[in-house]
Structure formats: structure tokens, C-alpha cells
Amino acid sequence: MPANATQADDNALHGLIDLERYPIDQLDGERGRVLVEECRAQLGQDGCVVLKGFVPDEALTRLERETERLSPEAHYNQTETNPYNSDGDPSLPASHPKNRFGDRTNGFVAGDRIGADTIIRQVYSDPGFQRFIASVVGMEEIHQYADPLADLVVNVLREGCQHPWHYDTNEFIVTMMTRQSHGGGRFEYAPGIRSPEGENFEGVEKVIDGDRSQIKSLDLQPGDLQIFFGRYSLHRVTPVEGDRERHTVIFAYAKEPGFIGRPERAKRIFGRMAPVHERLLEEGMQRSDSLAD
């Protein structure tokens, strides 16, 4: 995504984003610079920034209908998982985070089910939006996933669904809630509990054991945009309560072009692989860091 996004590109966001409150189409102007600085400061403080009411009410109604229409396409998977989405390690104590498994029941609508005419696909692929996200996370540019399943995803949580303590595969994640459940479904996280230099297993174990001294809890609402450093902050979504589904759009970007998720992860989350994942199984793949997941 080139840094010099055109004004014509930015105009595509009008009506979809509250540009008066969040002037992401004016990043070279004073108001745009102030917005980015405020977002960076919040991210630096606790690894997360939430832009309340990012989507105006008129577009939010359309947005909720859109994810409601897509939600039946979700593939649900139920599994026991540790924070690292890995197998346990019998050489370690039972109390070690690698051996601490929780129920994960989630539904995901894959990217190849989300058409180019949808609001969320238009926002995801918009150069102006990408430029804003890149500016906030301190990168010259960001790139859409080359993964046809995981590039743009709708997370659908029914009653009883949850996502236990875990880390994200990518360094940062961008999400937008479009529908809130009647109860539960709270997003909780321990900011910066690990780093590329170390896992901090002791700190992670304390969180799993119920220590809330490092925990932040967010009251996310439909229309809120969240930018989150999920690779370094342990986080979870508590069990959803009631018969109203919780819908969250996940916009996935990477530092480098051509990013594709692990084939086994695609199989687990979406119930299938794309041809590109099958090729990766044959060729093998490497991560750029040595963290446990």
C-alpha cells in the first residue's frame, strides 16, 4: 500500500467512516496528525487503541445487516487449546502455560465468502484506511494478506462460545465489532506480557491462575474500531451469553507482502484449506520469529 494514497481513494470512505470525528482522509493535515499521535500514544501505553463510533449510525445499520447475512457461512470449531495453539509438553509441569488448555468454540466466516461489494471488503482494501493503520502502528506501509481465507474474516460467537487466553499469529490485528451479544463476550487482555526477547511463562501462568493485576477489560460496542498488538498481549473473549450472536470483523494485514497463514491453522479455523495452503504443506514454511506459536 503506497504511502501517497490519492484523494480519490480516500473519498471511498465517505459514508462508511465518521471522517469528521476521525479524519483519516487528512493524515497530512494537522487534525490527521493529531489523531495518529493520539492513537500511537495509547498503543504505546497498553498495546491497544479503540476508536469509539468509528462507523456512523447510518452505515452501522447496513454493516450489522451485512455480517448477519454472512454469519450462516461461519465454520464452527470446538477444541481444547493452550495460549500457543500448540500441543502440550509432557516434559514441563502440568501448571506450565503450554500445558494449560481451555475450551475454544468459535465460528469464522472465511475471506473467500466475503464479496468485493461488501462494506467490510471496501474498507479493508481501501488505500486510505490502510495508510491510516500503517501510520498508527508505525510502519511505512502494510499489506493485505495473500491468504484468501484469513485476509478478511467475520468472527461469529453464539451463546456459550468463547476464545480462551491466546496470542495472535500476526504482530497486530485490526477489528471492528458489528453486533454485540446480550451478555458476556468481553474482550480482556494483558498488555505486552511477552516480547520477541522472551515468553514470560511465569507471568502468563499467573494470568491463567486468575491474577487480574495486569488485566484490562474493554466494553466494545458495534461501530468501534480496535487496533491491537495481539502477538505480544495475552487476550481472550469471555463466554457469550444469550441468544444474540456477537459479530466482529477481523482485518488482517502484514508487514511484508505475500503473507499466508499456516495450513494447519486454516484447516482448524475454517475447516478447509485453499490451494495455496496445500502448496505450503508441500514446500514447508518458516516464521520470522522464535516465539512459541
pLDDT at 195 (0 to 100): 92
Q: Is residue 220 in some structural domain?
A: yes
pLDDT (tens digit, 9 = 90+) per residue, 158-167?
Answer: 999 999 999 9
Number of domains in the chain: 1
pLDDT at 54 (0 to 100): 96
Nearest Cα to Cα of residue 179 among 158, 151, 207: 158
What value does the mean pLDDT of the chain take?
Answer: 92
pLDDT at 5 (0 to 100): 42
Percentage of the chain modeled with pLDDT above 90: 83
282 pLDDT band, cuts 50/70/90, is confident
Q: Is residue 211 in some structural domain?
A: yes
Q: Is residue 2 in some structural domain?
A: no
Nearest Cα to Cα of residue 41 among 138, 160, 134, 132: 138
Q: Is residue 136 in some structural domain?
A: yes
Q: Is residue 1 in some structural domain?
A: no
pLDDT (tens digit, 9 = 90+) per residue, 176-206?
Answer: 999 999 999 999 999 999 999 999 999 999 9
Task: Write the CATH number for 115.
Answer: 2.60.120.620
pLDDT (tens digit, 9 = 90+) per residue, 40-68?
Answer: 999 999 899 999 999 999 899 999 999 99
224 pLDDT band, cuts 50/70/90, is very high
The stretch 224-244 carries a mean pLDDT of 96
pLDDT at 123 (0 to 100): 95
Q: Is residue 293 in some structural domain?
A: no
The stretch 97-117 carries a mean pLDDT of 96
- Which residues span the domain enclosing 274? 7-283
Q: Is residue 64 in some structural domain?
A: yes
Q: Is residue 249 in some structural domain?
A: yes
In angstroms, how far is CA 203 from the centroid of its own chain? Answer: 23
